[in-house]
Amino acid sequence: MRLVVNLPTYNEKENIEEIIKKVLHEQKNLKNIDLHVLVSDSHSPDGTAEVVKKISKNNPKVHYLDVKIRGLGVGIVKGHRFAIDKLKADLLAQLDADLSHDPASLPQMVGLIKKGYDLVNGSRMAKGGQNLLGWHRRLFTRGSALYCKLTWGTFSLTEYTNSYRVFTKKLFEKIDFNKVPWKSKTYIIQPSFLYAALTAGAKIKEVPIIFKDRKNGYSKAQIIYYILDVLRFGLKVRLQKSRTFAKFLIVGALGYFLNSAALGLLNRGQIYSLQLFPEPLLGFLPSIPDAPKIIFLTIDRLLIASIISIELSIISNFLFHENWTFKDRSHKGSPFLRFLKFNFTSLGSPTIQLASILFFARVLNKHEQIGLAVGVVLGLFMNYTLNLLWIWKKSEKTSGNIELA
């Protein structure tokens, strides 16, 4: 099994030789692993390339890639692609070339990959981890983590902006890089790549790491622009996650109006206060004084009208959810079976609606439309949850698992 450790660089002449030595030193702790180092350099003018090329001449496990375009994301993505295509990597790792990350964590991270995890994420905030940067950088790390937790909804993950990771070739090739801002000049690649891994269904494990300030040189992090990119990306994620629920509400609103219109026409011949027919469409059915009873249930026109109008709204909701709201989720099995399951899961909501209609009309002596509106709201969230968990489940490619060390 071949592991290629990608070191994206820009002007790291003072650190590059030492970090390469430290990475290669871990070969003795990586049994049955063929360890290689790839320096993905953003065309550094300080002589980084010359140092790496000199080392690679004497060590076939050290490789140099001139990515020409400056940017951490470019170095990471192009480096990993090169590692897969040219170096035949099975596992991919990335860490900073400025000696902030200790390569001694690599054996533990690779060991977890062997146990079945798709991505192992180094965390400064997991128990046992440390962030030894200045207070303003620590504040950024913690603030970004809190913001990502809230916007992504991933409360079991502790670290988002760190670059120390090990993952499989299979995971990398599953990621849709059209949705990852990897060409940005800031470090947004770090949280966005992690989110892409989650949406690709990665099984993730976090391990604590100690993050030190760079030994030589200067940081290339553009904190202000990075903060803005993190904010924009988190907002984009939140909007995407809210889109499904927004669609659900729209479909629910359409279903409500269909339900309401049908109920009014069947029971009164009107839609709200607008009289469209001189008699109800179900005028041949008796109203409550003359209706027969089965145990405690009165089989009157209102009851039959309510059942018909509710089922019409269920059919409408299913068609919209199947082809629009949950279009991107799993559609395994027969559509007819999903429709039956949808009717079954919808029993709770229409039961609430029916009870609400009858309660408002017969007990409180209020208009049945008030009862319908109350019932729709009460059944909404229950129905949404059941739809997500049972009928239109997350497909495998969009569900991720997170575990802490």
DSSP 12-32: -TTTHHHHHHHHHHGGGGSTT
Asked if 36 and 4 touch (Cβ cutoff 8 Å), the reply is yes
Write down the pLDDT at residue 220: 54
Write down the pLDDT at residue 379: 73
- Residue listed under structure tokens 């229409």: 350
Structure-token pair, residue 260: 């309401």
Asked if 282 and 266 touch (Cβ cutoff 8 Å), the reply is yes
Domains of the chain: 2-221 (3.90.550.10), 242-394 (no CATH)
Structure-token pair, residue 62: 């050290």
Q: Rounded to whole angstroms, how far apart are CA atoms 106 and 113?
A: 11
Write down the pLDDT at residue 193: 94
Q: Rounded to whole angstroms, how far apart are CA atoms 247 and 267?
A: 30
Q: Rounded to whole angstroms, how far apart are CA atoms 227 and 175?
A: 24
- Residue listed under structure tokens 């030894």: 132
Write down the pLDDT at residue 405: 44
Distances (CA, A) of 11 to 41, 49, 79, 98, 404: 8, 9, 17, 10, 34
User: Among 246, 72, 241, 232, which residue's Cα sits nearest to residue 147?
Assistant: 232
Write down the pLDDT at residue 217: 54
Write down the pLDDT at residue 404: 47
Is residue 296 exposed (0-12), middle (13-18) or buried (19+ Cβ within 10 Å)?
Answer: exposed
Asked if 114 and 186 touch (Cβ cutoff 8 Å), the reply is no
Write down the pLDDT at residue 215: 65
Residues of the chain with pLDDT under 50: 396-399, 402-405
Q: Rounded to whole angstroms, how far apart are CA atoms 368 and 356?
A: 8
Write down the pLDDT at residue 366: 85
Q: Rounded to whole angstroms, how far apart are CA atoms 84 and 292?
A: 75
Q: Rounded to whole angstroms, how far apart are CA atoms 193 and 163?
A: 10
